[in-house]
Structure 1
Amino acid sequence: MTEGLHDEFIEQAVKNPGATAVYSEAGVVSYGELDERSRALAERLVAEGAGPGVPVGICVERTPDLLIGILAILRAGSCYLPLDPNYPAERLDFMVQDSGTRLLLTTPASRANCPAGPTVVVLDATVRTEPGERPVPVVPGDTAYIIYTSGSTGRPKGVAIHHSGCLAMLSEMDRIFEGRDLSGVSAASSVCFDMSVMEIFAALCRGGAVILVESAVHLPDSPYADRITHLNVVPSVMNGLLDAGALPPNVRTVVFGGEPLRRKLVDRAYRETTADRVYNAYGPTEGTVFCSHKWVREDETGEPTIGTPSVSARAYVLDEDLNKVPAGVSGELFIGGAGLAHGYVNRPEATAERFVRDPFVDGELMYRTGDIVTFTEDGELQFGGRTDHQVKLRGFRIELEEVEARLTGCPEVREAAAVVRDNRLIGYVVPEGASRDGVWLDTDLRTAVTGRLSGELPEYMVPATVVFLDALPLAPGGKLDRAALPEPPADEPGRPSSVAGTPTEVALAEIWGQLLGLDPATIDVQAAFYDLGGDSLLLVRLARLMTRRFDRRVRVPDLFSFRDISSLARWLDDDSGETPEIVRSARLRAGTRRAALRGRSTSNGS
């Protein structure tokens, strides 16, 4: 009988031990090996105190060891707390302390990034166990994982998801996907986001293979991209991959989530990929990955809805008094059912605020999503926005109040605000002692502020641009008027070039200017791509443009080795084709550094 998320993987491993479970640059692993190594590691964890109700942190790079570790934690009866080694130390420390984690699993490569405090178990070549041993029993109500989300108070909140919610998700996938769809599932999401649960277990619990990649921008460079049949992707990421002509060649199913999906992108996905099914999925972390979905057919017209609720989910559209509103009338979306989280870890007040009594089902709770939706006459949900200041950026959930709290925590800052414009996070800051009229800029102060935040927040929560103001605009009632915040100055990202530039630097400046919308003459060859307004999606296009311009293969991982045009030009001009020793960014704001950090030299045409 299936009680835990990992049980169905064990069944697949028993049936097909020789089948490939994981493809990655670090190695290919069979079901049998994944089963054996995770079983042996689970025994070590149990010996260290793992068991039901005990969270175990996992701080492991994106290799098969990550999957071995997650399975081992579940088989030990514990729940796993994902800790991205690229996250700032302060955030990792908070997650460990807030969750009460006392046991942490890591590898030699990631140990230096682990928070201090918990007992550390290093994942290495473990002793093989005898056949027939079973995992520590779990019950469906036990917690399977804890994932931290951005918090409006400035403190992230840990969402506790139970095994029964995960099993309901797998059952729903069986209803909407065919076996061929899950034969090769791309796993590009950070394990700190719940989409990773679907990517990993959709494959492993149904006999498919996980194609593990560093991030979505690394898809074009994966040696196993042609094995990907199922792709979960954020709309903005998909647009970037399509712009670069970088989609895997054999994708059959595309699942969009994390941002509003537009019909124009659906049409483009059908037209420019091999996909014959495109889905729009919706669901907060508190609802176990997704709670509604829609197959957006190729012959349909009109903007996609977020579909109908999953079989195991309940969805209500309610007014301020928690009364149901009729079809066609907007209201707030509340969700319940098998996928509903236990609540927030050690946050009873936040749990009571968001998880409220379900007035329509005795003894049950429902989650207040903060999303404005409308039920159509066909029973589908049409997304209409937010009731608060939570936003989604490239699929990442961000509470603007948390960013603002971090900004105002800087000693140089008196007041702060944050908004998302043109798919970029913009910070507005009133410095201590500000006295100038209108918008003004200070490069050193901007560097100090963003540098501090880069040490406290994940990359996606660090503003791409910081604008300094004398005062924040206020509405008549005295509250912040976000709509009145000025647009960032058009010339803000660039600074005058400090050198005339070599021919290669000039050519690179032209490419950067094309991608970033800047005058090449204003680009400082010492300025980092991200500081000029670039992002990880633009890196995919940059790699393709450079490959064509310089007749030399340039991969996205290569670009993570370089801070600026100057060092990049030296690499391109190096006849040996070897990556020169250069100054690496103190913290790669793309959050995807490992391909460059494994210490490998990148050779011409590799």
Structure 2
Amino acid sequence: MLGHLEQILESMAAGGQQRVGELRLLSGAEEQQLVAAWNSTQEIYPEYYRVHELIEAQAALTPETIAVVCEDQQISYEELNRRANQLANYLQGLGVGPEVLVGVCVERSVAMIVGLLGILKAGGAYLPLDPEYPRERLNYMTEDAAIKVLLTQQHLLSRIPNCAQTVCLDTDWPEIERCAEYSPITELDGQNIVYVIYTSGSTGKPKGVMVTNGSLVNLCYGLKSAFADPFVKNTALITSLSFDISVNQIFPTLIFGKTLHVIPNHIKYDSRAVIRYAAEQKINLMDCVPSYLNSVLTEINDFVQTELKYLLVGGEKVERSLLQKVFAQLGDQTEVINIYGLTEITDINAFSRITAADLEGTITIGRPLQNTQIYITNDEGQLQPIGIAGELCIGGDGLSRGYRNRPDLTAEKFVVNPYAEGALMCRTGDVGRWLKDGRIELFGRRDQQVKVNGYRLEMGEIEAALDEHPGVVKSAVVAQSAEGGTRLVAYLVTTEKETMSGAEMREYLSNRLPAHMVPTFFIEVEKMPLTPNGKVDRKALPAPDQSQVEIDREYVAARTPVEEMLTGIWSDVLGVEQVSVHDDFFNLGGHSLLATRVISRVRESFQVELPLSSLFEAPTLRQFGSHVEGALGVEQYALAPAVERVSRESELPLSFSQQRLWFLHQFDPLSPAYHIPAAIQLSGNLQLGALERSFAEIIRRHEALRTV
């Protein structure tokens, strides 16, 4: 500190006309450490190759390796490349090429990955459109992005906006597969757009971030140490395509020749099912947000034997209590990689590797990703000393091209980098500090932006949607920590003629905003408390309590078997002793993450598949019960029928893998390759005859044990 004071005095003596904020605080040695030493992240990577070219090269190396799995579907690298080529040639015939955006509104499937790769091979860029988003939001995104071609599926046509050309990856595939199987020629460079993802906007409308090919390739190779680990064979995609965490799971997996498991929603929303899937499918690497992971581990609450080696978590603050759960329930072999970054800088800009031995230390976001520079500055844009908090400003190869159709906002966020000639850096709005060992500790935000279940939300966008309601004079939205995640609370000043119900406002917003942006509580206030400078004093807003939220506490018992089962599910998920059929799920403390648990339990109990939005549309137990009862008789909501037993009398054809093993067996019949020997120590008296009969029955019943 004395050294900094001395430096300030020297600066004052050197130039008497300087403003106080412009006085030099750091010595030359300190500035060298902060600018150069800790930001010396230069690494070589194939910057002149595009993502799809790297995946195609991997397909040539390992054509028979399974590239993508989703439920009962799987596809090899060779087949993935072939189908993507056919789709790419088809899309080029529709005018897709460099700088052309193609919408992707597809449910989680193998076809979803084929669609992404096909767009990239055609030279275009993809725009993810979540099928669960409200139609109004999808309309805005497609219009703002000027979408002319949209990939979807036949059963989703009623949900999507009207586009000039809609391509159904299921019903249109017979026409697509008539296209050439060769990779089309495209003229691309590293600055061409590879995808656009819309994030929450403070002005009331989401904004589209344009990420480039070069930035994405740098990200993939920045994660190479985990994805290229020989131990890693299988990775799991849990997040939505519209959440940018998905890119750091999909593309590194395929570039480095691993198998990507696309986890379907009915497993994703079922804590026990997702852990069981990870164990049975030998998932070695997966990526999720802390609130989701905490929800899963809290519900499991037991040790699970898995082969999970890397767990990438990001999008929210990682608490020590979560790390303790990870190592206690998943084992010490799991390494948590705490990732930090912004959509504007290709998702990951720094990461920290945490093992069970690191539990007692400070939880940080680690050090910059390869070819990334992080500067921590004060309000004047000057570097902060080690240990002093400031705004994180990030430069390097991960920078995007800014916001689509928003040059003003791009100029505001992407500013001249004074430490790299001719370069820009992005002002993140995140607050943190350098520690003495060169790691970065993150504190929070400078503005009203918050993270809810991993999504970066601007309160202004939710408030703008609320203010459009004719009965709302003024609104304010705040985020509060809650059991199982973060909940949003909306405060409303209404007109004299209007009295707003939470159900009414929730339905109103559900038609305009995604589920994770709809507040849990709606509280009417007479007027907004203000700070001395006239802004809403959010800290002075009253906390929600039972006298302010509108819960009908007159108990009305369930009248049907479905309602009876739902009361038990709600009671268990929400931690409420008694649930009336007129109770509102959200007024009982529910939020989007707890809603996923309810949907999971409904699927397990009733064997029906309901969208997450159904609980927002029917928030009382009686309304939701009617929704479930209606779904029980509708074929589209029913789960796939159980697998039927087939005749085993005739010989079954060999699979491609079995044919390959049979071929190798001809060269060396005595080779022990592909055998999996095991030694088991038994105690007690062994009835050898019974054991032999048991093995014989197993072999008789499962013909796979009688083949190569």
Shift of 1:582: 4.4
Q: Counterpart in 2 of 1:575?
A: none
Tell me which residue corresponds to 2:155.
109
Residue 370 (structure 2) pairs with residue 370 (structure 1): no
Higher deviation after alignment, 210-219 or 187-196: 210-219
Q: Residue type of the partner of 1:581?
A: G
Q: Is the 8 A contact 1:241 1:537 kept in 2?
A: no
User: What is the CA deviation profile of residues 378-425 of structure 1, one whole-angstrom value per residue up to 9, with x for unaligned ones?
Assistant: 111100111100000110000011111111111110000000012101
Alignment match, 2:269: 217
The amino acid that maps onto 2:491 is: Y
Query: What TM-score comes out, normalization by structure 1 length?
Result: 0.87
SS in 1 for 2:158: helix
Instruction: Check if 1:147 corresponds to 2:189.
Output: no
Unaligned runs of 5+ in 1: 436-441, 572-578, 585-595
Q: 1:241 aligns with which of 296, 306, 311?
A: 296
Instruction: Give the aligned partner of residue 243 of structure 2.
Output: 193
Give the residue type in structure 2 aligned to 1:221: A
Q: CA deviation at 1:453?
A: 1.0
Q: Name the CA distance, whole Å, in 2 between partners of 1:482 and 1:277.
A: 38
Q: Quick one: distance in 2 between partners of 1:65 and 1:121? A: 12
* 1:304 and 2:363 aligned: yes
Q: Alignment partner for residue 322 of structure 2, among 262, 265, 277?
A: 265
Instruction: Give the superposition deviation at 1:513.
Output: 3.3
> Measured at CA, do residues 181 and 446 of structure 1 come closer, stay the same or move farther in structure 2, by a change above 3 Å?
farther
**Deviation by residue 1:339-387 (Cα, 9 ceiling, x = unmatched):** 0011111100000000000011111000000001100001111001111
- Structure (1 or 2) with the greater helix fraction: 2
Question: For this pair of structures, how many residues does the alignment match?
Answer: 575
| 2:638 equivalent in structure 1 | 600
Tell me by how many angstroms 1:476 deviates.
Answer: 2.5
Compare 241-250 and 147-156 and name the one that shifted more.
241-250
> Which of 341, 355, 365 is the equivalent residue of 1:283?
341
**1:536/1:416 CA distance change after superposition, 3 Å:** closer
Residues 1:398 and 2:425 aligned together: no
Q: Out of 191, 200, 209, which is 1:159 matched to? A: 209
Higher mean alpha-carbon deviation, 112-121 vs 560-569, is at 560-569
Greater CA drift, 221-230 or 32-41: 221-230
Which of 401, 405, 412 is the matching residue for 1:346?
405
Distance 2:106 2:600 in 1: 30
- Give CA-to-partner distance per residue, 1:179-199, whole Å, 9 cap, x none: 246422211111111111111
Distance 1:605 1:568 in 2: 30
Residue 485 in structure 1 maps to residue 541 in structure 2: yes
Counterpart-to-counterpart distance in 1, 2:596 and 2:210: 35
Cα distance in 1, alignment partners of residues 232 and 310 from structure 2: 9
The alpha-carbon deviation at position 298 of structure 1 amounts to: 1.3
Shift of residue 98 of structure 1? Answer: 1.2
Aligned residue identity for 1:270: F
Q: Can you give the 5+ residue segments of structure 2 that lack an aligned partner in the other structure?
A: 1-45, 645-708
Q: Would the aligned equivalents of 1:217 and 1:539 in 2 still touch at CA under 8 Å?
A: no
How has the CA–CA distance of structure 1 residues 517 and 553 changed in structure 2, closer, same or farther, with 3 Å as cutoff?
A: closer
- Please tell me the residue identity of whatever aligns with 1:85: P
1:173 aligns with 2:223: yes
In the alignment, which residue of structure 2 is the partner of 1:516?
Answer: 574
SS across alignment from 1:344 = coil
Q: Which has the larger radius of gyration?
A: 2
Output aligned runs, 1:348-497, within 5 Å.
348-422=407-481, 423-433=486-496, 445-490=501-546, 492=549, 494-497=551-554
Residue 87 of structure 2 corresponds to which residue in structure 1?
41
Distance 1:108 1:248 in 2: 40
Aligned-pair CA distance for 1:251? 1.9
Partner Cα separation in structure 1 for residue 50 and residue 593 of structure 2: 36
Aligned partners of 2:106 and 2:112 also within 8 Å: yes
In the alignment, the residues of structure 1 paired with residue 540 and residue 640 of structure 2 have an alpha-carbon distance, to the nearest angstrom, of 47
Percent identity between matched residues is 33
- Distance apart, 1:57 and its partner CA: 1.1
Residues 135-171 of structure 1, C-alpha deviation per residue, up to 9 Å, x if partnerless?
5242111110000110111111110000111110111
- Shift of the 605–567 alpha-carbon distance from structure 1 to 2, 3 Å rule, reads farther
Whether 1:3 aligns to 2:49 is yes
8 A contact 1:244–1:541 mirrored in 2: no
Secondary structure at 1:369 match in 2:
strand
Structure 2 counterpart SS, 1:428:
strand
The equivalent residue for 1:587 is none
Q: Distance in 2 between matches of 1:602 and 1:266?
A: 37
- Secondary structure at 2:357's aligned position in 1? coil
List 4+ stretches of structure 1 deviating above 4 A.
128-132, 502-508, 539-547, 552-571, 601-606
CA distance in 1, matches of 2:623, 2:505: 25
Q: What does residue 103 of structure 2 align with?
A: 57
Amino acid at match of 2:637: G
Deviation string, structure 1 residues 33-82 (Cα, Å, up to 9, x no partner): 21111110111110010001111111111111111111111000011111
Distance 1:91 1:433 in 2: 30
* SS of alignment partner, residue 36 of structure 1: helix
1:27 partner letter: Q
Between stretches 117-126 and 221-230, larger displacement belongs to 221-230
| Amino acid of the structure 2 residue aligned with 1:191 | L
Aligned to 1:589: none
Partners of 1:328 and 1:101 in 2: CA distance: 47
The root-mean-square deviation of aligned C-alpha atoms, in Å, is 3.0
SS in 1 for 2:519: coil
Give the superposition deviation at 1:480: 0.5
The equivalent residue for 1:593 is none
State the SS of the aligned residue for 1:419.
Answer: strand
1:327 paired residue number: 386
CA contact (8 A) 1:244 1:544 kept: no
Mapped to 1, the partners of 2:466 and 2:632 lie a distance apart of: 27
Q: Do structure 1's residue 533 and structure 2's residue 596 form an aligned pair?
A: no
Distance in 2 (CA, whole Å) between partners of 1:73 and 1:507 is 45
CA distance in 1, matches of 2:393, 2:188: 29
Q: Structure 2 CA distance, aligned partners of 1:119 and 1:263?
A: 49
